[in-house]
Amino acid sequence: MTPYEFHHVDVFTETPYEGNPLAVVLTPDALPTATMQRIANEFNLAETVFVRQTTNEAMPLRLRIFTPLTEMSFAGHPTIGAAFVAHREGLCSRLHLGC
């Protein structure tokens, strides 16, 4: 299996190991849904978010959010955590957010 870069972040806190834990997986390309589901199950956190860059200027990042059992259409703390990692990793310049 190809290793993917991932980050463990704690959302809604500045103190490590407090707040809402989240895995943010940066993928260079689209992964099959079944693979993302297996990875989320392996992390066994409330949510795991997969982030990949796109070539679409209107939507430069694509997020998919999974629990250990299913995909979610939206969730707040994974979106915030993914934005934090995107900023920290220098992906924000494509988002036109001024970050």
HSE at residue 79, side-chain half, CA atoms within 13 A, is 5
Among residues 5, 42, 47, 89, the one annotated as catalytic is: 47
Distance, CA of 33 to CA of 83 (rounded, Å): 21
CATH of residue 58's domain is: 3.10.310.10
Mean pLDDT, consecutive 10-residue stretches, the chain (99 aa), reads 85 92 91 95 97 82 95 95 91 57
Residue 70 lies in a domain: yes
User: pTM for the complete prediction?
Assistant: 0.87
Q: Scan for tokens 């806190």, then name that residue.
A: 13
pLDDT at 96: 52
Number of compact structural domains in the chain? 1
Task: Answer yes or no: 71 catalytic.
Answer: no
Residue 20: enclosing H or E segment and its boundaries? Answer: strand 20-26
Position 98 in a domain: no
